[in-house]
Amino acid sequence: MHATASDSTFTVADPATGQALTEVSALDRDGVLALVERARRAQPGWEALGFEGRGAVLRDLRRWLVDHRDRVLRTLISESGKSWVDAQLELVYVADALGFWARRAPKYLADERPRPHSPFLAGRKLVNRFRPYGVVGVIGPWNYPLINNFGDAVPALMAGNAVVLKPARLTPLSSMLMAQGLRQVGAPEGVFLVANGSGATVGGALVESVDMLHFTGSTEVGRQLGVQAAERLLPITLELGGKDPMIVLEDANLERAANAAVWGAMENAGQTCISVERVYVEGGAYEPFVARVVDKVRKLRQGGPGGPGRADIGAMTSSEQLETLEEHVRDAVEKGARLEAGGRRRDGPGDFFEPTVLSGVDHSMKVMTEETFGPVLPVMRVDDVEQAVALANDSRYGLDSSVFAGDHRRGEQIVRRLEAGAAVVNDVITNYFATELPIGGVKESGLGARHGAVGIQKFCQRQNIVVTRFGLNRELYYFPYSRTTAKLVEWAIIALFGRGGRRRRRRRG
């Protein structure tokens, strides 16, 4: 573990070196509840700023983020152990998200004005309004301290909510730095607060007190939070685990597919919910694809970041994940898989697992059915597309997926058959940067989605408004009822609904 805790503090350490970085104060239940109450007092003023005022603050924060990029990157790298470029990709996402939501929120959350279809509503104005919940709780994971912590807070803030963020105990420093940045650019006090501490204590207190909750993390913890939220009927969205398949057809560009597979499986040391976790290669493409992948993986540079571009693969942020990686590789090899590269934790300081490739795998092995969450790439031969699709769908997860095909139109036909909330043709992971498109899981990969209009509307309640601008003293359907009223309603039913259907022809005998 890289975060050890007492009753009031815990230590954050660098996974690449094992060296302690700092002590962080841990909140108890009462401390969390006080933080939520503080956020609740700040929220009305933040909402009153309107889209323009809130957007100005987020755009100022984007400038702050760019101006302080070196400090942000070093903070992120030191607590997560990721490579420099992997950290830069997080910064790119958040900088883009700040501008995206500031620009799109007024459109996505504008009042909707449908035209009434019913004659009983003639002359009325219909409005569907979005209003912020109030205080939104965000519980983030340790693998992406910026993207899946503060990045998820951005649309909630832009919608007019105050946010209380609980980062993982392994990686709280980036979130604390973003809170500092918001204060420095003039955000009202209490609008964005960070609640550090244990998952059980802080998470439980948030479920107890906030008005809406978003969680990113494991399926097991997400299920527990869902049960707790149900006790309050608390609105909740969940982005959970994945076992994302990649299909490579015989006519695919194998060089591109191999490059994509290696990056998709190894980026952020494989600690990505939408990473490539299993590959199915059709027929004659199998051997040349595996050869390309193995050659590329063996050339990867692993180690501490040491500056821009000096390492490809960083450390495992959570030392506990090393045990899962070892178990999955050992299980596969014992059941007949071939270890083509890597396969073990690296000696020396820091928590590193060698970039690993396994061939000859099948669905009897954990590495093909359970979430591995590390730099391990298992590759399986399939006879044809039908087998590939069947195996890709043979999972309790359904987060992301990809297909590589010589004909992109055929690739799109295939991904439409995959049971996944997201899919990419001839690429991997990059769909996460398509902020216009909702992305979320099916099956046990989650509830709800981030991005797109629903990615900010989920942080709002809907209010249905019907305005009668003019009318009689008494409508036809007001009390008291009479025989005349009933007759008029009957005529209306016949006139409105009694035409247009097919009449059955009488059978002549």
- Which residues does the annotation mark as catalytic? 239, 273
- Residue pair 454/438 in contact (Cβ under 8 Å)? The answer is yes
Which helix (H) or strand (E) segment holds residue 91: the answer is helix 84-108
- β-pair partners for 264: none
Q: Alpha-carbon distance 490 to 81, whole Å?
A: 73
Our separate counts of H helices and E strands in the chain read 16, 20
The Cα-based distances of 88 to 43, 52, 297, 409, 449 in angstroms read: 31, 28, 22, 33, 24
| Residue where the block lists tokens 């650019």 | 185
| DSSP per-residue codes, 33-52 | HHHHHHHHHHHHHHHHTHHH
**Helix-strand-coil percent breakdown of the chain, rounded to 5?**
45, 20, 40
| Residue where the block lists tokens 């490539």 | 276
Q: Alpha-carbon distance 332 to 257, whole Å?
A: 23
Which helix (H) or strand (E) segment holds residue 293: the answer is helix 286-298
- Residue pair 380/279 in contact (Cβ under 8 Å)? The answer is yes
Of 246, 274, 261, nearest to 441 by C-alpha is: 274
Q: Residues with Cβ < 8 Å from 118, sequence gap 6 or more?
A: none
Side chain identity, residue 393? N
Token pair, residue 6, equals 């007492």
- Residue pair 344/327 in contact (Cβ under 8 Å)? The answer is no
Token pair, residue 310, equals 């000096």
Q: Alpha-carbon distance 260 to 254, whole Å?
A: 10
